[in-house]
Structure 1
């Protein structure tokens, strides 16, 4: 049965340390927990050295949602009676990999030095996420791009392990590993653009009251930053505005290589989602954000950097049916069943399927292939018959004209007509015509509208169902 198959799969994944969905078999009903995690931005930058000027500290945010499902009822988001612990395999310390802790108190005007491996929010490299309204979150994880066994080569797409446990007895309900991205490729000097960080500070020597030698200096102290929540000095303008305005004539203006001079970067290549790597005409940074001149001018016209960003639902993009919630960023928007957009689609800049293998691990373990999390049975114990995400028509509805022909050699040939707007189909075998969904066995997930199944014996009776999987 499907539940037995998934239990075996869950146990196999448990050995590997990855159990996003764990089914629990009861005497009468089956229930399961599904844990979905993601990073909020798809990439976090941090200075490699904090002795001169500071753009961003080590500060990473991860969110998660825990879905509970039981036969006969709709899935529910769970935050009570459970906790989600996090850890970063292979990266257990940061204090020996950066000089951030030497300067953090001075840079951020802290009342006392930060304890080793503790970030600006009080969180470390291990701990428990905070339960909020329908989701869990940990902010300010002070991770560096260097793993414990390699302090030279950056690993920008490391994995953070999330474990959902029942608080009453510490029982493991579900586990997953998702990318916690970080890079030191803030490349003012390494890009070849500036001779030194000090030379950049020296360009400010005509600013009244500014001492370029009084280091370390937090750029956001003068230049406001919505990322760090600093008001800055109004006359100095925001850091986002100044950086893009000062470099607006950098050539080539419409190239991803230009953005990678400052954003991570030639090594990390943080724009790695399907729109940049998986379509015939790949998009680049400028496709959504515009050129550096466009970015600067939009801020001058009132756009708030970090808070007002390109919309998936724009008329020249995906349209209103695939829009975020009104006046809400993609990374803050929820949709089907209260799930965050990123729970199914991936993080910004890493929309699934991603060219980075680690980004795809969670969905592969859940539905068997990379891409948008689109298989209804990942969360639903009973296959739903209603409309799916974005109002898509009956994503799990069975095809209406399934034809089954028994062939010689114990084969069955299945065929059906294409369903408009559907790009893939799930083929199931069933022990009886009225078998419950938990008893179905998934045979294939495919785009083709025919399937050949090998049957054990010529007289074996087998039943089939083909449902629409994605659009």
Structure 2
């Protein structure tokens, strides 16, 4: 071959490869930063190939570190520096300017304030720059004045207000609660996560997002008279180490979510502050809440639902040592708002998993012997992205584009979203251009639920199936890569764990998870309550709304036991006429009856005593049982009267689910009870069995000693099923 012709062809090949490489070259966002001494700036690194290295040209001015797609630049002293980020193909630079910290930085103390009507309290102001001004958001509740570095707040009437303190450079706020009285007495505090498990789809949000880091904490406080405490108290949450010593006090350094949240949902919370869906439907989103840290963060009281809450806490399944922990632990503390005295505390978990993943089928692979993976391979081939968190997501977008290329509805949706940065070339082109795809921008999802306006904020687009329906129906006939059974198969107990958390997380961990049949095999699976995938994806079912109800399985359909009546073929709960163990009808909106919003005895939420969905007490995760052990002495449903009552009330049917008083007090009182029951009181046989020989519903959960009067002292071990035969020779002695 002519030497010149060879070189010419080589150059053509080289330039062609270079052009291809540049199409996927390393990208930094932003490429210049300006920070104060001591501050940290986050630079998102995308389109990388191979391992990443970072270097500062002047570490005395700025240092840099790299983890999970984020280069963290910290200002050390005033000056300029250049940070270089390299992968195996190229390098990019970030110009850094570090400014001196201001000579003074306004500080105030305290950040929370409570006082009585007619009373006053001071806020200390230090490091103020220039003139200081103060303002109350509601002078009918509290007024404020300023002199000699003190902001003096006076309580006018009971309520809440915000005091703002400004100097020439910045402003700070103080939450003020004005009380009529101070809280006194003994208390029981119960705290829980609302869903039992929250999911986030990996640590990378630069390609697409299904669910962000979003957790919700609820709590209720009871005094020992059995009354709910709703005012004159302050509740906070903070990170604590779990029983293994693991602690999780930050999130922004573990995911690039905060670099992309603005592009995804149009909100821009500060690092370690989450988005809050509440109020979003009316254009007035409530403030985001912080990742639990060593500094207590406030919870707010929600009058409509009767609980204290912290909505949208952004927590990830990685602890401070970088180890996976799907069950980070938090402590909730209730204090007297006026005196600051601790009234009660509770330890619970904020479960979160990143096993909501599609890697099992959609990750790039050279293997070709797995039917599920072969079916998921795009016609254009796997993308083989070097970042495993991006790889499966980019494969899904490529496959989605191929499947929908000729779909007018899909192309019209891209046109509609063009103003938000979506490209007509498809979803992968959109993501590769720097606009991450939000799946629920097109596919409606009730997971994005604004409970203040009681509606979803992601209503989807006309002609496009809701997210739950689309995913479940599309994958119903897909083969499980591990078992090769279809995901729709009722015999495939692990099918749900292919996409939901998960084989390691073990989301289903409550009392139902450990139930076994006569052979010792698990008797309950996800499908027992939810049905198969076709039922979950039924077009007549609303995802996240049409969920199983407690009474669907826990009812009197069979003597001496609870029968599983379950759901119908469309994934909707079959609701029997027996509502002894029922969720609340028309909750939180007409037509629904969701467990996580339902309440019962004494105004307590069902989850307060029974545990969260999928984690009903007792849980197989030990730290979730700490709370019930603390309040009643043993794990399991909070069912001991003395957990909330100093003096046990005497009642025939006023307890939870129409239960009677238990213990010594019931020994004599039960003689006059109506054994056959009434319309409002179940008969004795409902719990004690048709032969009055006892059932699991009449079992004591912890060893008890009962003074049965002339029948002597009874010592019953945990699990003993109380019956007529416990003292008598039968039901009619």
TM-score, normalised to structure 2's length? 0.50
Residues 299-355 of structure 1 deviation map (CA, whole Å, 9 limit, x = unaligned):
x12x22112211111262694210111132111000000010011110000111111
Distance change >3 Å, CA 139–CA 445, structure 1 → 2:
farther
Residues 342-375 of structure 1 deviation map (CA, whole Å, 9 limit, x = unaligned):
1111000011111111111111112221111111
Rounded Cα–Cα distance in structure 1 between residues aligned with 2:716 and 2:298: 38
1:309 aligns with 2:547: yes
1:41 aligns with 2:41: no
Aligned to 1:23: none
1:399 aligns with 2:667: yes
Distance change >3 Å, CA 258–CA 148, structure 1 → 2:
same
Question: What are the equivalent positions in structure 2 for 1:368-387 lying under 5 Å apart?
Answer: 368-386=633-651, 387=653
Q: 1:189 aligns with which of 343, 348, 359?
A: 359
Moved more, 162-171 or 226-235: 226-235
Aligned to 1:410: none
Residues 56-110 of structure 1 deviation map (CA, whole Å, 9 limit, x = unaligned):
00000111000012xxxx4110110001100122222111100101111111123
**1:38 alignment partner, SS class:** strand
**2:353 alignment partner, SS class:** coil
Residues 230-274 of structure 1 deviation map (CA, whole Å, 9 limit, x = unaligned):
011121111111110110113252223111111001110101111
Q: 1:140 aligns with which of 312, 320, 329?
A: 312
RMSD across aligned C-alpha pairs, in angstroms?
Answer: 2.7
Rounded Cα–Cα distance in structure 1 between residues aligned with 2:217 and 2:249: 17
CA contact (8 A) 1:83 1:131 kept: no
CA contact (8 A) 2:248 2:319 kept: yes
Rounded Cα–Cα distance in structure 1 between residues aligned with 2:438 and 2:493: 27
Rounded Cα–Cα distance in structure 1 between residues aligned with 2:309 and 2:606: 15
Aligned to 1:53: 208
1:263 aligns with 2:500: yes
Q: 1:100 aligns with which of 252, 257, 261?
A: 257
Aligned to 1:242: 470
**2:472 alignment partner, SS class:** helix
Rounded Cα–Cα distance in structure 2 between residues aligned with 1:145 and 1:124: 15
Residues 377-407 of structure 1 deviation map (CA, whole Å, 9 limit, x = unaligned):
01001012213110123334433599xxxxx
Aligned to 2:43: none
**1:161 alignment partner, SS class:** strand
CA contact (8 A) 1:47 1:186 kept: yes
Residues 82-139 of structure 1 deviation map (CA, whole Å, 9 limit, x = unaligned):
01100122222111100101111111123xx421101112111241111123310111
CA contact (8 A) 1:353 1:360 kept: yes
Q: CA deviation at 1:188?
A: 0.8
**1:245 alignment partner, SS class:** helix
Q: CA deviation at 1:143?
A: 0.3
Moved more, 195-204 or 342-351: 195-204
1:123 aligns with 2:289: yes
Moved more, 80-89 or 421-430: 421-430
CA contact (8 A) 2:509 2:615 kept: yes
Distance change >3 Å, CA 91–CA 258, structure 1 → 2:
same
CA contact (8 A) 1:154 1:183 kept: no
Rounded Cα–Cα distance in structure 1 between residues aligned with 2:528 and 2:201: 27
Question: What are the equivalent positions in structure 2 for 1:222-233 lying under 5 Å apart?
Answer: 222-228=442-448, 229-233=457-461
**2:698 alignment partner, SS class:** coil
CA contact (8 A) 1:79 1:132 kept: no
CA contact (8 A) 2:694 2:721 kept: no
Rounded Cα–Cα distance in structure 2 between residues aligned with 1:97 and 1:188: 21
Distance change >3 Å, CA 309–CA 448, structure 1 → 2:
closer
Aligned to 1:290: 531
Rounded Cα–Cα distance in structure 2 between residues aligned with 1:82 and 1:418: 46
**1:373 alignment partner, SS class:** coil
Rounded Cα–Cα distance in structure 2 between residues aligned with 1:235 and 1:348: 32
Rounded Cα–Cα distance in structure 1 between residues aligned with 2:608 and 2:237: 17
Rounded Cα–Cα distance in structure 2 between residues aligned with 1:53 and 1:324: 36
Rounded Cα–Cα distance in structure 2 between residues aligned with 1:276 and 1:382: 35
Q: CA deviation at 1:418?
A: 7.1
Rounded Cα–Cα distance in structure 1 between residues aligned with 2:440 and 2:720: 54
Q: 2:347 aligns with which of 177, 193, 197?
A: 177
Q: Which has the higher contact order (CA 8 A, sep 6+)?
A: 1
Rounded Cα–Cα distance in structure 2 between residues aligned with 1:355 and 1:83: 31
CA contact (8 A) 1:163 1:172 kept: yes
**1:256 alignment partner, SS class:** coil
**1:270 alignment partner, SS class:** coil
TM-score, normalised to structure 1's length? 0.77
1:320 aligns with 2:582: no
Q: CA deviation at 1:203?
A: 2.5
Rg (Cα) greater in structure = 2
Q: CA deviation at 1:376?
A: 0.5
Distance change >3 Å, CA 82–CA 181, structure 1 → 2:
same
1:275 aligns with 2:512: yes
Q: 1:65 aligns with which of 217, 220, 224?
A: 220
Aligned to 1:88: 239
CA contact (8 A) 1:84 1:165 kept: yes
Rounded Cα–Cα distance in structure 1 between residues aligned with 2:396 and 2:550: 36
